[in-house]
Structures are given as structure tokens and as C-alpha cells.
Amino acid sequence: MSKPASLTTQQLVEIVENQQAPLVDVRPIEAYNGWQLKGEARGGHIPGARNIPLKWTRYMDWIEVLDEKGIRKESPVVLYGYSEEETEEMAGRLYDLGYKEVSVYNHFVDEWTSDPSRRLERLPRYKDLVYPGWVDALVSGEKPEGMEGDRFVICHSHYDHIEDYYKGHIPGAIPVDTNSLESTETWNRRSPEELEESLTALGIDNHTTVILYGRFASPDFESEAFPGKSAGHLGAIRSAALMLYAGVKDVKILNGGITSWEIDGYSISTEEVKPEPVDSFGAEIPGRPDLMIDTPQAKQLIESEKGELVSIRSWEEFIGNSSGYHYIEKRGRIPGAIFGNCGSDAYHMENYRNFDHTMREFHEVASAWNDGGISPEKKVAFYCGTGWRGSEAFMNAWLMGWPRVSVYDGGWYEWCSDPENPIETGNPEPSRLTAAMGDEEMN
């Protein structure tokens, strides 16, 4: 195997400025997002770099990622990471796949991050998207970077399926049923009084640091009647949005859910942990009412030139071939909404996640939204059938620091329940589509 060429900092600057080759960051996604894992002076990634963590090469699926991110065999590729060992290992993987022109940059830590004049980009709210090592430090009694205050609660999310918690959870985590935060009749958020009752019973006040995670779909839990019961991590993200709305100031999500915890080799507990209730939430609920809107506000948004209502549903749902749910009869979409393309069906979010279930590279999500006319300059509300998928898209925008984002909480379920509300079916105008994140589903 040939040894890849090693670049100097100046050579890399010229390549980046002239866009001579794609740049690939092989570090873990948490480092790419902004966490400083190896004592580097500054966190983040080199502008324009794509993230393909070396750990992904353990899986067959990673080869498809190269094509998705535009890393072609016929073009030169530049790799960088924390060490010479990992960049050369990734180079070897690429050589094995038939890549010819692979170069490495091994001065990211000692020269790039240590020089304030060298630009770095990062996920604006990266501290709210934590990783297994961060949670382990917290469980072990440390106070890791980004921890606000002294009290924390780790929440293992499930939807009416406590057995998921008993199967195994992060040590110290308590079970949280999504039904305690949203109505089982309407799927909307519960009343302020009910939210306060639920949160204080869980030991959560407005200053508690809350870390949420769940388990992804598994045949062990799958139910034909309730296929979403196993989607605990999507429920965790839904719960995160609701807690932010309620006014919890420090809400964090474990990126990749319990899957990432297990992949990194951390232990699982089956010991039940009881919550320690608090007397008061400490503030009026909702603390952030702007993060959830209802049908009247959704209608105003559709009419506004400064806002967008974004449908985080599958294409089959959007054009009216499927309602998406066994309990929703009507099919179609809200007129004027933009297609935000969740993935294959009502219970999946492939277009917002990597194959290891971590959140998709934020530049990719922002680019796809921008192509569809969705930008941080606008007031944007995301919706789906009953709020879960819309909440995940919302959390992506929240983590990116978008200033005016919300969830249309009632979504399709509430909209179609009112016979006075208009409904559209069939193919919409091309301008109402996002241009990326799974275009093949539209064809």
C-alpha cells in the first residue's frame, strides 16, 4: 500500500481556498460538532470539511456514505484527524476501495486549532448534543464541560413501554413515559399544570440539567398495532422539545441514543432508579411559549412571506397516498407547507440521521433546507402527524442556533380533524420541495 502524501498547513490552506479536493474529518462526530476531546486549543472543524468518522469503517454501510458526501474515487481526497495513525488508517481504507489520490494533514491540533487566525466551524449549541463519554463522566461524579448547575436527571425515554427500561438502561437513569408530557387523546403537549406535575414528579425543575435518550427500533419491541413503541429515542427528542417549551433551561440529548452508549462499550444497568420529586418547577410554565404553535399561528405562518410551515413527513404522506397512521383516516397535506422529507414512513427519520443513528451532519441538513427556501432568517415551524418527527427537525434547527423555530404541535392530526381546514393531495409545485435529503423518494 502506498503511503499518502503529508500536507503542510499552507498547502492545506491553498487546497481549501481553491476547492481543489474534498476535505474529510475522520474524528468522532462529537469532535466535528465542537467538543474538544484531545486537549485541542479550540473545538470544531475546518470549514468545508465533511465528517466521516474512522469508527464508521467498522460497518459495511460506511461505503455508501462516501458517495452520499461526494467523496469520489476519481478525485483527490484530503484527510485530517487527531493523529497520524488515524488518518493513515483511513487512507488505507480508501486505497482498498480503489481511491488513488489520498493526502493527509496531520497538524490539525498543533497548528490549526492553536492559531486563532485559522477558521473553525462548529454546531452552535453542540453542548446540548452530548456523547457517551460525557454522560459517563457525569455518572462517575465529574462535572463535564457544558454542565449547568449541580443537579441533573438522566431520562430513559419510552412510549407506554416500561419493559424497554427494564431491559437495560444507562446507570442512574430514570424511566420517562412520553405520555406523561403529551396527551394520549390528541398527542399535543399537556397543559401547563399537567406538565408541572409530571416534571416535578420526575425531579425536574427549570434549573435541572436533563439528559434524554432512548432505544431505537428493535424486533424485540416492535408491535404491529403500535410500531412506534420501540422508537424511544425519537420520543426522547420529542420530550426534549416539550421540556424546552416548559422552561427547562438545560436540556441535552445523547447523540445516537443508547445505541451509541453500547457501541462505545459502556455498561448497561437493569437496576430500577426511582425519581426524586421536587416541590416546585421554579418558574411559570410555559417558559418558552414561542417554541410551540397551534393551528391559528400555523395559518398565519403559511400566509406570511417571512415564515414557512415545514412538513416533516414521508413523500407518500405528503402527496396523500397514505395518512401515515392507522388511527388517522384523512390523507393529504396542509396547503402551502414545504416538504421537509423525514424518511420512509411515519416512524422513521433516515433523512435526518446517520446510519449509526447519530444526528446527520448539520451542514447537510441546513443545505437541504436552504435549497427548499427554509432559512434561519425566517420564522419556521415544523410539523408531522402528531409532533414527534416535527420535534426532531425542530431540535436540529435549535442545535444550529436558529432564532425563530417552533413545532406546530397539532400537526396533521389536528389539522385534518377540522372539516373547515383545506387539504391538498397530489404533486405540489416544485418550489414547495426541499431539494435534497432523499430526492429519490419524489420520483
| Under 8 Å between Cβ of 23 and 49 | yes
Cα–Cα distance measured from residue 344 to residue 313, given in angstroms and rounded to the nearest whole number: 9
- What is the structure's pLDDT at 310? 97
Give the homologous superfamily in CATH for domain 127-287: Rhodanese-like domain (3.40.250.10)
- What is the structure's pLDDT at 266? 98
Q: Is 155 a catalytic residue?
A: no
Grid coordinates of 221: 419491541
Instruction: Name the CATH architecture for the domain at 5-121.
Output: 3-Layer(aba) Sandwich (3.40)
Cα–Cα distance measured from residue 426 to residue 400, given in angstroms and rounded to the nearest whole number: 32
DSSP secondary structure letter of residue 42: S
- What is the structure's pLDDT at 61? 84
Cell 412538513 found at: 311
- What is the structure's pLDDT at 216? 85
Cα–Cα distance measured from residue 245 to residue 186, given in angstroms and rounded to the nearest whole number: 18
Q: Say whether 94 sits in a helix, a strand or coil.
A: helix
Of the residues 155, 342, 384, 416, which is catalytic?
384
- What is the structure's pLDDT at 325? 87
Start and end residues for every CATH 3.40.250.10 domain found in the chain: 5-121, 127-287, 290-442
- One-character DSSP codes across 241-291: HHHHHHT-SEEEEETTHHHHHHHTT---B---------S--SS-S-S-GGG
- What is the structure's pLDDT at 225? 31
Query: 128-167 b/e with 16+ CB inside 10 Å = b?
Result: bbbbbbbbbebbeeeebebbeeeebbbbbbbbebeebbeb
Q: Using only the alpha carbons of the chain, give its radius of gyration.
A: 22
Q: Say whether 28 sits in a helix, a strand or coil.
A: coil
pLDDT tens-place values along the chain, 443 residues long: 578 999 999 999 999 999 999 999 999 999 999 999 999 999 999 999 999 999 999 998 899 999 999 999 999 999 999 999 999 999 999 999 999 999 999 999 999 999 999 999 999 999 999 999 999 999 999 999 999 888 999 999 999 999 999 999 999 999 999 999 999 888 899 999 999 999 999 999 999 999 999 998 643 333 333 344 446 899 999 999 999 999 999 999 999 999 999 999 999 999 999 999 999 999 999 999 999 999 999 999 999 999 999 999 999 999 999 999 888 999 999 999 999 999 888 878 999 999 999 999 999 999 999 998 899 999 999 999 999 999 999 999 999 999 999 999 999 999 999 999 999 999 987 656 664 455 444 33
Residue 331 CB coordination number (10 Å): 18
Instruction: Name the CATH architecture for the domain at 290-442.
Output: 3-Layer(aba) Sandwich (3.40)
pTM listed for this prediction: 0.94
